């Protein structure tokens, strides 16, 4: 079910609504063959040191046991390049501890001492289920994890549409030419092979008023283009390299400012960001893409 109109837009002080994207709100639809590789919702919060230990994470695990019955420890390695005067940059490696919660359906929750990410891949069915699971996660963190503040809330949908084997140019018509760009045209000669072509756009939308959260910039990062086999998309929880060449449409929206860890407010903001992503994705499909992905308009 589509969210109410007021949930899709940003309220401003003049009493009107303002969209992040100047696009129409899409009607309800579904895709028979969706290109979605992973849907992510993430919260970052001030460091809670006890969540780095088994004893500290145990109450959260108990709260989420019915939703995520399995937990494993995971060590995440982060590499930072440090500048060095008179010489090449030096790599500094740090390993952090995190907990991976899973179920038999393929849902994944990654919990660290300062963040939590909910991930759904092929099992993603409807946003209602996604947001319901995330709401229960937020409740567990507030009640059992002692999290009192949110520093960043983000929603990200990573679409990877594999190019059919033997039809290397088929992807060119799936998405609007504003996204596929010149590399999808005849400018690329028959004797040339397109290896990769990725563009990134960053936007900032400043709300004038307040809607159950801080009146801060809403950030959008959109990456799109042709990617070769073997590419790993940074930031994915369920990390899987692309098995074949594909078209990438990675839509990431977030707000970054301290605010109360109020579940109702955070879920409302999550729904707003998701609807903006839905607007953009629906706009992105060309007629050939609607047909290829099996788009069906719903009443």
Q: 């019955």: which residue's tokens?
A: 69
Per-residue confidence (pLDDT) for residue 247, from 0 to 100: 95
Contact 194, 183 (CB under 8 A): yes
- The better pLDDT of the pair 92, 119 is held by 119
Exposed e or buried b for every residue in 219-243, given b needs 16+ CB within 10 A?
Answer: bbebbbbbbeeeeebeebbbeeebe
What are the tens digits of pLDDT across the range 217-273? 899 999 999 999 988 888 899 877 778 899 999 999 999 999 999 999 999 999 999
Please say if the pLDDT value at position 15 is more than 60: no
Q: What is the mean pLDDT of the segment spanning 98-123? A: 95
Please say if the pLDDT value at position 207 is more than 90: no
Mean confidence (pLDDT) of the chain: 86
Query: What pTM did the predictor assign?
Result: 0.86
Per-residue confidence (pLDDT) for residue 269, from 0 to 100: 92
Please say if the pLDDT value at position 210 is more than 50: no
Work out the percent of the chain whose per-residue pLDDT is above 70: 84
Question: What are the residue boundaries of the structural domains of the chain, listed by start?
Answer: 24-79+89-297
Q: For residue 225, what are the CA distances in angstroms to 33, 124, 206, 228, 290?
A: 19, 23, 27, 10, 18
Per-residue confidence (pLDDT) for residue 10, from 0 to 100: 39
Please say if the pLDDT value at position 81 is more than 60: no
Contact 20, 10 (CB under 8 A): yes
The closest of 295, 285, 253, 297 to 21, measured between CA atoms, is 253
Per-residue confidence (pLDDT) for residue 13, from 0 to 100: 36
Please say if the pLDDT value at position 79 is more than 60: no
Please say if the pLDDT value at position 148 is more than 90: yes
């Amino acid at each position: 079910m589509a969210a109410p109109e007021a949930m899709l837009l940003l309220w401003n002080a003049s009493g009107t609504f303002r969209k992040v994207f100047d696009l129409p709100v899409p009607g309800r639809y579904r895709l028979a063959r969706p290109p979605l590789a992973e849907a992510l919702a993430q919260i970052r919060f001030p460091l809670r040191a006890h969540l780095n230990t088994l004893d500290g994470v145990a109450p959260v695990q108990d709260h989420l046991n019915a939703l995520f019955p399995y937990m494993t420890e995971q060590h995440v390695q982060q590499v930072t390049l440090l500048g060095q005067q008179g010489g090449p940059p030096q790599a500094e490696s740090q390993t952090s501890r995190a907990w991976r919660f899973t179920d038999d359906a393929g849902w994944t929750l990654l919990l660290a001492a300062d963040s939590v990410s909910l991930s759904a891949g092929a099992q993603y069915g409807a946003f209602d289920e996604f947001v319901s699971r995330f709401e229960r996660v937020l409740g567990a963190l507030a009640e059992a994890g002692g999290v009192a503040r949110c520093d960043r809330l983000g929603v990200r949908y990573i679409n990877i549409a594999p190019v059919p084997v033997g039809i290397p140019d088929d992807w060119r018509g799936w998405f609007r030419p504003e996204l596929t760009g010149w590399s999808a045209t005849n400018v690329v000669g028959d004797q040339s092979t397109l290896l990769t072509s990725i563009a990134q756009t960053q936007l900032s939308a400043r709300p004038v008023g307040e809607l159950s959260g801080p009146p801060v910039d809403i950030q959008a990062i959109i990456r799109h283009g042709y990617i070769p086999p073997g590419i790993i998309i940074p930031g994915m929880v369920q990390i899987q390299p692309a098995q074949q060449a594909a078209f990438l449409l990675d839509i990431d929206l977030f707000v970054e400012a301290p605010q109360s860890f109020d579940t109702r407010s955070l879920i409302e903001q999550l729904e707003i960001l998701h609807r903006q992503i839905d607007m953009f994705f629906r706009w992105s499909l060309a007629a050939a893409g609607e047909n290829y992905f099996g788009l069906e308009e719903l009443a």
